[in-house]
Amino acid sequence: MTKETDVRTLSMSRWTAVTVATVATVGVLLGAPTAHAQAPAKALLTAQDRADIEQLLVTYSQLLSSCQAKKYSELFTPDAFFFSDDFRGARHRELYGKSATLVGRAKLIELVETEEFCLHPEAAASRARAGVSTNRPQMVHVIEPTPEGATGTVKQANGGRSENVYVKTGDGWRFKSRSVFMAPLTTLSEQDRTDIQGLVARYASSLRSCAGEEYADLFAGYFGSGSRGQVATRENLIGLVKSERACITPNPNPTANGGANAAARRAPNGPTVNITATVDGATGTPAAGGTGYFDVYVKTPKGWRFQSRNVLSAAEVAAKMTVDDFIEIRKLAGDEIGHYADTYKDSVDQPHDQATPGNGPGRQFRASGLVITATPEGVTGRAFLRHDGGHYDDAYVKTANGWRFKSRVYVPPAVKP
Measured between alpha carbons, how far is 382 from 371 in angstroms, rounded to an integer? 5
- Give CB contacts under 8 A, 24+ apart, made by 117-122: 117/65, 117/67, 118/67, 118/69, 118/331, 119/91, 119/324, 119/327, 119/328, 119/331, 120/230, 120/308, 120/327, 120/330, 120/331, 120/336, 121/67, 121/336, 122/221, 122/222, 122/230, 122/232, 122/336
Which one is the CATH code of 47-181: 3.20.20.70, 3.30.360.10, 3.10.450.50, 3.40.630.10?
3.10.450.50
Does 185-312 match 47-181 at the fold level? yes
Beta strands at 342-345 and 364-368: parallel, antiparallel or unpaired: antiparallel
Residue-level pLDDT, tens digit, the chain, 417 residues = 444 444 333 343 443 443 333 333 333 333 444 444 555 666 689 999 999 999 999 999 989 988 899 999 999 999 999 999 999 888 899 999 999 999 999 999 999 999 988 886 654 444 444 444 444 555 789 999 999 999 999 998 778 899 999 999 999 999 999 999 998 877 899 999 999 999 999 999 999 999 999 999 999 999 999 999 999 999 999 999 999 999 987 654 544 444 545 544 444 567 788 999 887 789 999 877 668 899 999 999 999 999 999 999 999 988 989 898 999 999 999 987 778 999 999 998 899 889 999 988 889 999 999 999 998 889 999 999 998 889 999 999 998 888 999 999 999 998 765
Strands (E), 39-160: 76-84, 100-103, 139-145, 150-156
pLDDT of 337 reads 77
Measured between alpha carbons, how far is 49 from 154 in angstroms, rounded to an integer? 17
Residues in Cβ contact with 70 at an 8 Å cutoff, skipping those fewer than 6 apart: 109
pLDDT of 365 reads 96
Whether the CB-CB separation of 134 and 127 falls below 8 Å is answered with yes
Whether the CB-CB separation of 126 and 233 falls below 8 Å is answered with no
* Burial of residue 339, with CB atoms counted within 10 A of its CB: 0-12 exposed, 13-18 middle, 19 or more buried: middle
Decide yes or no: CATH 3.10.450.50 for domain 185-312. yes
pLDDT of 188 reads 92
Residue 265 CA: distances (Å) to CA of 202, 228, 283: 11, 17, 21
pLDDT of 41 reads 63
Domain limits, the chain: 47-181, 185-312, 322-417
The reply to whether the predicted model has a pTM over 0.75 is no
Whether the CB-CB separation of 309 and 327 falls below 8 Å is answered with no
pLDDT of 3 reads 40
